[in-house]
Structure 1
Amino acid sequence: MRLHTFYGIVLLFLTPAVRAQQQAPAESIRYVPRIYQPFDIGAVKPAGWLLDQLKTVASNSTGHLDETHDKIKKDNGWLGGKGDGWEETPYWLDGAVPVAYLLNDPLLKAKVLKYINWTLEHQRPSGYFGPLTTYERETGKAITPEEAGKGEDWWPKMVMLKVMQQYYSATKDKRVLPFMLRYFRYQEAALKNAPLSKWTEWAVSRGSENMLVAQWLYQVTKEPFLLQLAALIRDQSLPWSSMFGGRDWVMHAAAFQNNKAWMTRHGVNVGMAIKEPALNYERTGNKKYIDILNTGWKDIMLLHGLPNGIFSADEDLHGNLPTQGTELCAIVETMFSMEEALSITGDLKFADALERMTFNAFPPQTTADFNNKQYFQIANQVAVERGVYDFSLPFDRQMNNVFGARSGYSCCLANMHQGWPKFAGNLWHKTAQDGIAALVYAPSELTTTVGSRSVTITEKTTYPFSDEILFEVKTGTAVSFPFLLRIPSWCQQPELWINNRRQQPDVHQGLVTLRRTWKTGDVVRLKLPMTIQVSNWGRNSRTIERGPLVYALKLQEQIATDTEAAEGPYETLTTKDPWNYGLLKKSIERPSELKVTEQPLGKDFKWVQGMAPVAITVTGKQIPAWRADKGKVADQPVSDREGIYKGTVAAEEVPLTLIPYGFTRLRVVAFPVVP
């Protein structure tokens, strides 16, 4: 179907109010600087468990995908070849570039520079860039704005622009800004002849990624045309802000998984688009977009949210039952949108959301060595096998739930690499008045300057597995600056010490701001007591939480391997452990009485069951009628309004061990409650 036809169907599908908003006159432009500005790549060095994780990804698929993935390996279009020139090479680079520079890895730097250098050196005189087109090969002529229709899809270039943005952040290579300006001048002219809808629906659905880099470049260069271009891109894209604000969209997405306007329900598109209202606010200064962002995110998680912090996306948004799936690409893209929303708006709920999905949903969807992945994960996942699950995209080969490098679509194999390095790069932020903000917590070290004075802050912690964070300050000479610490919304009574002297934390809108003159040897100790809480999810199920982590039933894994002709080797998992437990009502009502067991975090950290440093013991009873469909899907038992399962329950009370969700591949996380 031609894209203008697709786009017309989408607009007809939307409500009259939403269509009217999309067709409204152009808005005025008033750029609003970001509340929090991430530091350049290289200013933040990962440490502790996060460093172990980044070393793992670099030594495995992130560092070697160009050797193992045929789409990148064979005659790559982004190196001038005739092979694949679509999204997967830029996707891989979008993670491999920041990993290379975060770790200062010379071998990985050399790998990614091949693609960056080719792209920079082969920009056409008009500003067009990317793999050589059929037209160019056949005629010897370069793409111009007048012949923009002879070019190729806008979408892969959007991803490569994000790659270049990160490369510039890490290196300040003087070639990058002129390269971008030339391209955006080309795009400004070319969109008249070849709009976003010229080739495929992906560019129309994902214009926010294009807007993002144009607005970032405005922040750097102050070229006014860039904001006008971003507005034009918004106008040629799906009307995400109107859809999020109109609210009928999210209800239709909950009700339908058919072919009508399915790109508006595609979970990865939604994950990317969540940042669009924030970008619109950054460009226009119109606070209605802040309201739209808040409404859209709340509605998505209300109707489609899962206990692990992400929404169902298999591939469509698909409701809130814990037996629905989520695509790996949707997780890493939503993580990035949370990072951008936090930076632009300063709203700390996006930091809470980022931590929840990063520490829970993201880790178990890849193998510990980061070489294999699931296309779709399930929250209550009691088996990982081939089959037709309750997904809106089931796949004929029935491979979308197994662990494999090429299982499902290979987009996630290329795209998963951005998750950990972008998370690491968004731990620390700059604020007004030379402030430094620790907004997301993980072991790391920040080196920056305040005025002309060097400042290093070392963050020592095993958070999110423990509740204490130590900040050690080192300065050349004494220097004054505000130091901001986020207090997560789940923490009711934070504790604070400066140089071993107890302080009374003054928490304002989720922040403690420490204003003082800092010198070498100053130490800030922040304690965020983690109390056990219970949350309510689909079908009146309950989840045990502690701090930013959700806890799931620990199940012994039995692993089998096989090979599928088109998708290669894969792993399946089953368990002989019983899993069909309900949690006792008294445990749910008195969660503070549950037993927590902690142990030190092991060296060479990986997200594997044997390294889980925290466990919670809770009491349950088996529900004999709760069985998995064909051994795979554990449909949630129905509870009454009080949240109690009324069917037959075993008499015996059984102690159950729950571990953090991120360390599980088989699990129950959303439990029925039994008397």
Structure 2
Amino acid sequence: MVCCALPVVFMLPLGAQAGIKQVSPGAYTPPAYEALPLGRVKPAGWLKRQLQLMRRGSSGHLDEYYPKIKVDNGWLGGRGDGWEETPYWLDGALPLAYLLDDRELKIKVLRYVNWTLDHQRPSGYFGPLTHGEITGDVTIDAAHANEGEDWWPKMVMLKVLQQYYSATEDKRVIKFMSKYFRYQMEALKKAPIGKWTEWAQSRGAENVMIAQWLYGITKDDYLLQLAALIDQQSFPWTTWFGNRDWVINTATYRNNTQWMNRHAVNVAMGLKAPAVNYQRTGEQQYLQNLRTGWQDMMTIHGLPMGIFSGDEDLNGNDPTQGVELCAIVEAMYSLENISAITGDVFYMDALEKMTFNALPAQTTDDYNEKQYFQMANQLQISKGVFNFSLPFDREMCNVLGARSGYTCCLANMHQGWTKYTAHLWYQAPDDGLAALEYGPCTVTAEVGRKHREVTITEVTDYPFSDQIKFQFSINKETTFPLQLRIPAWCDEAVMLLNGQPLRKDKGGQMITIQREWNDKDELVLQLPMRIRTGTWGRNSSAVERGPLVYALKLQERWEKGTDAAEGAYFSVYTPDDWNYALRRQDVRHAADSMKVTMERPLDSLFTWNIKHAPIEITAKARKIPSWKILNGVAYQPPTDREGLYKGPVETTVHNITLIPYGCTKLRVVAFPVVR
């Protein structure tokens, strides 16, 4: 595709990192936390049930009914689809198989892994058979790199192979990747990363990341040279995040000019680029640019559930803008890598907010249907043309359907929960363990100077509960450091060891407990959750408690329909009143005026929906009579400089019920504020 140039203030040569010099390979900086082998963390409780729902749904069976994967698949040597969607599906289905230790699913996904490993060309090139290979006597090697095909889907398959190696240590993967990267080093001279598509050019950080991962194993310097070359040929995300002109332009332009630079999924993948480049070079400016870019983007495009708008473009912070499901799972994966590389709690907190709020709200309970775009304030899910930057002619962007919108999200959504689960725990420095995120699970790892095996069972209903128990199983007492994240939203965490007070720590840091641990030790971490409010687009206010954002509880009426091109789908409507505004006094003193009126343990059938919402908050509110749905959307009422709606408001004060955002399909989360 061809893009026109934006104003000079925006454009920089690809790979030109303003103010940053390319540092020699000797500056490589290992990540702050090393990933554990896939399978060392096992889900439990509600998290295991979520993965089991995915296994029974599309995550475990997409290849059986979705034609692009089922029919003559290119990643199995066929003549069918050989682009991104099969690797996308495998990128979630493979870790799911190992997290659940599911033999049948392992057999299924390993067909694709083994075909890929077994059919690498002598030159190192890999992937589905190219058009030239099928139709003529063409050998794909560095001298004939132009006869190859798009670099982009190979980047996704490299992530799949990385996870496979993490789970199995199959040495074929190291040999395969080394051979491919040597081919790529030469081939990029003839066929640059963006030769076939801007998708590869905009997502080069995915390729860089895997090359550097392999360097961490083999220490072959050419891998860092390759990583630098790919970065130079790719979109310069680090520069754009740091120089601020880019984010200004994303809020200005709404046309085909340079749209790939503000495409939300590209941005979500590009987020990791500064951290990955920092890992290669040790240059601190990369991390400064990352923080600047994230904060600017969330200021201009941020939504209450912890993600930036993207429908498909970045599209401002109005709570009626949409966000693509692919953008959520890719931003999560970027934040997981950023957190491990930098050790910065800021990004760990951002990851959990996005995961527990934005992610579960966009799929059906059985994980078979999804919304291409969700809205923060969403009063109906229906066909229509909304204020999105991509309003398909078929008007299917907002409904819940397997094939609604683009099917990339159907293939890609599976990596969200699986990778979050796999990255709850990491190996910490000095032979320790670190919990960067929280959820019910068990982790097994070798710790201490003598590398003794320890299993820690994490018992919790987090994020719905503020208490996390860590139960230790170890053959012999062992000294090692245990690192725990204290989220910034927590004023002060309290820890008990075997029922006795141990320590208290302020939020916004990783803390280390260095001691001799014994079998049957139990460490309890308490993270008191206070009700608070935050200000979002159009001077709206959202209610938060701990990592969860809370939204108006609305009954749902589901209707099934069928589109001739995109198949079966669901629309959702509510019979309930919804046009409420919060009172300013309650917004300012939320912890005193709003109350948790229901808090119950999760049952064994917990699902992210209104029926199973385990917490309710009651708040005072007044109705705005003129606030109505127009063309399927509840556009935000206007406010003055004080952030108040000054139009007619009913005098009656109502008690409204709020539940976790992730349990809703319809909701108000960004409330207007009145006196």
TM-score bracket, normalised by the shorter chain, equals over 0.9
1:296 pairs, out of 280, 293, 298, with 293
TM alignment of 1:629-648, pairs within 5 A? 629-630=630-631, 632-648=632-648
Aligned partner of 1:494 in structure 2 is 493
TM alignment of 1:549-568, pairs within 5 A? 549-568=548-567
TM alignment of 1:299-338, pairs within 5 A? 299-338=296-335
Does structure 2 retain, via aligned residues, the 8 Å contact 1:308–1:361?
Answer: yes
Aligned partner of 2:109 in structure 1 is 112
Aligned partner of 2:599 in structure 1 is 598
1:219 aligns to 2:216 (yes or no): yes
2:178 pairs, out of 156, 177, 181, with 181
Give the drift of 1:75. 0.3
Give the drift of 1:509. 5.8
Does structure 1 retain, via aligned residues, the 8 Å contact 2:208–2:276?
Answer: yes
Does structure 2 retain, via aligned residues, the 8 Å contact 1:17–1:246?
Answer: no
TM alignment of 1:659-674, pairs within 5 A? 659-674=659-674
The one-letter code of the counterpart of 1:598 is E
Aligned partner of 1:399 in structure 2 is 396
TM alignment of 1:39-118, pairs within 5 A? 39-118=36-115
Aligned partner of 1:485 in structure 2 is 484
Q: Per the alignment, do residues 454 and 39 of structure 1 end up closer, same or farther by CA in structure 2, a change over 3 Å counting? A: same
User: Aligned with 2:636: secondary structure?
Assistant: coil
Aligned counterparts of 2:595 and 2:20: Cα–Cα separation in 1: 57
1:105-163 Cα deviation digits (max 9, x unpaired): 01100110100010000000000000001111122433111111111100000000000
Aligned counterparts of 2:287 and 2:553: Cα–Cα separation in 1: 40
Aligned partner of 1:580 in structure 2 is 579
Q: Could you list the runs of 5+ residues in structure 1 that have no partner in the other structure? A: none
Aligned partner of 1:233 in structure 2 is 230
1:194-248 Cα deviation digits (max 9, x unpaired): 1112111100000000001000000011111000000000000011111111101
Q: Per the alignment, do residues 17 and 229 of structure 1 end up closer, same or farther by CA in structure 2, a change over 3 Å counting? A: closer
User: Aligned with 1:9: secondary structure?
Assistant: coil
Aligned partner of 2:651 in structure 1 is 651
1:610 aligns to 2:641 (yes or no): no
Aligned counterparts of 1:435 and 1:229: Cα–Cα separation in 2: 32
Aligned counterparts of 2:17 and 2:334: Cα–Cα separation in 1: 23
Aligned counterparts of 1:17 and 1:537: Cα–Cα separation in 2: 35
Q: Per the alignment, do residues 11 and 635 of structure 1 end up closer, same or farther by CA in structure 2, a change over 3 Å counting? A: closer
Give the drift of 1:506. 4.5
Give the drift of 1:326. 0.1
The one-letter code of the counterpart of 2:228 is A
Does structure 2 retain, via aligned residues, the 8 Å contact 1:18–1:242?
Answer: no
1:143-187 Cα deviation digits (max 9, x unpaired): 111111111100000000000000000111121100000000000
Aligned counterparts of 2:491 and 2:138: Cα–Cα separation in 1: 65
Q: Per the alignment, do residues 63 and 18 of structure 1 end up closer, same or farther by CA in structure 2, a change over 3 Å counting? A: closer
User: Aligned with 1:331: secondary structure?
Assistant: helix
Aligned counterparts of 2:119 and 2:170: Cα–Cα separation in 1: 16
Aligned partner of 2:5 in structure 1 is 9
Q: Per the alignment, do residues 17 and 111 of structure 1 end up closer, same or farther by CA in structure 2, a change over 3 Å counting? A: closer
Aligned partner of 1:141 in structure 2 is 138
Q: Per the alignment, do residues 153 and 16 of structure 1 end up closer, same or farther by CA in structure 2, a change over 3 Å counting? A: closer
- CA RMSD in angstroms, aligned pairs only: 1.5
User: Aligned with 1:196: secondary structure?
Assistant: coil
Aligned counterparts of 1:237 and 1:481: Cα–Cα separation in 2: 42
1:455 aligns to 2:454 (yes or no): yes
Aligned counterparts of 1:24 and 1:638: Cα–Cα separation in 2: 43
Does structure 1 retain, via aligned residues, the 8 Å contact 2:261–2:267?
Answer: yes
Q: Could you list the runs of 5+ residues in structure 2 that have no partner in the other structure? A: none
Does structure 2 retain, via aligned residues, the 8 Å contact 1:123–1:130?
Answer: yes
The one-letter code of the counterpart of 2:599 is E
Q: Per the alignment, do residues 670 and 24 of structure 1 end up closer, same or farther by CA in structure 2, a change over 3 Å counting? A: closer
Give the drift of 1:619. 1.0
User: Aligned with 1:146: secondary structure?
Assistant: helix
Aligned partner of 1:32 in structure 2 is 29
Give the drift of 1:21. 3.6
Aligned counterparts of 2:123 and 2:498: Cα–Cα separation in 1: 59
2:366 pairs, out of 365, 369, 376, with 369
Aligned counterparts of 1:146 and 1:318: Cα–Cα separation in 2: 43
1:500-537 Cα deviation digits (max 9, x unpaired): 11122245961221111111011100100000001000
Aligned partner of 1:389 in structure 2 is 386
Give the drift of 1:25. 6.6
User: Aligned with 1:197: secondary structure?
Assistant: coil
Aligned counterparts of 1:598 and 1:629: Cα–Cα separation in 2: 35
Aligned partner of 1:524 in structure 2 is 523
1:59-118 Cα deviation digits (max 9, x unpaired): 110000001111001100000000000000000000000000000001100110100010
Give the drift of 1:14. 2.0
Aligned counterparts of 1:640 and 1:63: Cα–Cα separation in 2: 51
Aligned counterparts of 2:360 and 2:321: Cα–Cα separation in 1: 18
Q: Per the alignment, do residues 20 and 470 of structure 1 end up closer, same or farther by CA in structure 2, a change over 3 Å counting? A: closer
The one-letter code of the counterpart of 1:616 is I
Does structure 2 retain, via aligned residues, the 8 Å contact 1:580–1:623?
Answer: yes
Give the drift of 1:549. 0.2
Q: Count how many residue pairs are aligned between Structure 1 and Structure 2.
A: 670
User: Aligned with 2:344: secondary structure?
Assistant: coil
Aligned counterparts of 2:13 and 2:272: Cα–Cα separation in 1: 22
Aligned counterparts of 1:564 and 1:17: Cα–Cα separation in 2: 44
Aligned counterparts of 2:673 and 2:457: Cα–Cα separation in 1: 44
1:253 aligns to 2:286 (yes or no): no
Aligned counterparts of 1:206 and 1:250: Cα–Cα separation in 2: 18
Give the drift of 1:37. 1.2
The one-letter code of the counterpart of 2:302 is G
The one-letter code of the counterpart of 2:209 is L
Q: Per the alignment, do residues 105 and 52 of structure 1 end up closer, same or farther by CA in structure 2, a change over 3 Å counting? A: same
Aligned counterparts of 2:51 and 2:149: Cα–Cα separation in 1: 34
Give the drift of 1:459. 0.4
Aligned partner of 1:169 in structure 2 is 166
Q: Per the alignment, do residues 258 and 516 of structure 1 end up closer, same or farther by CA in structure 2, a change over 3 Å counting? A: same
Aligned partner of 1:534 in structure 2 is 533
Does structure 2 retain, via aligned residues, the 8 Å contact 1:11–1:19?
Answer: no
User: Aligned with 1:383: secondary structure?
Assistant: coil
Does structure 1 retain, via aligned residues, the 8 Å contact 2:268–2:334?
Answer: yes
The one-letter code of the counterpart of 1:623 is I
Aligned counterparts of 1:570 and 1:501: Cα–Cα separation in 2: 54
Q: Per the alignment, do residues 15 and 117 of structure 1 end up closer, same or farther by CA in structure 2, a change over 3 Å counting? A: closer
Aligned counterparts of 2:22 and 2:583: Cα–Cα separation in 1: 57
Does structure 2 retain, via aligned residues, the 8 Å contact 1:13–1:261?
Answer: no
Question: Comparing 497-506 with 47-56, which one deviates more in the overlay?
Answer: 497-506
Give the drift of 1:400. 0.4
Aligned counterparts of 2:641 and 2:45: Cα–Cα separation in 1: 45
Give the drift of 1:28. 2.7
- Percent identity over the alignment is 56
Aligned counterparts of 2:326 and 2:342: Cα–Cα separation in 1: 24
1:415-438 Cα deviation digits (max 9, x unpaired): 000001100011001111011111
Q: Per the alignment, do residues 24 and 674 of structure 1 end up closer, same or farther by CA in structure 2, a change over 3 Å counting? A: closer
Does structure 1 retain, via aligned residues, the 8 Å contact 2:431–2:451?
Answer: no
Q: Per the alignment, do residues 315 and 508 of structure 1 end up closer, same or farther by CA in structure 2, a change over 3 Å counting? A: closer
User: Aligned with 2:413: secondary structure?
Assistant: helix
1:366-414 Cα deviation digits (max 9, x unpaired): 0011000000000000010000000000011000000000000000000
Does structure 2 retain, via aligned residues, the 8 Å contact 1:267–1:313?
Answer: yes
Give the drift of 1:586. 2.3
Aligned counterparts of 2:129 and 2:7: Cα–Cα separation in 1: 34
Q: Per the alignment, do residues 469 and 269 of structure 1 end up closer, same or farther by CA in structure 2, a change over 3 Å counting? A: same
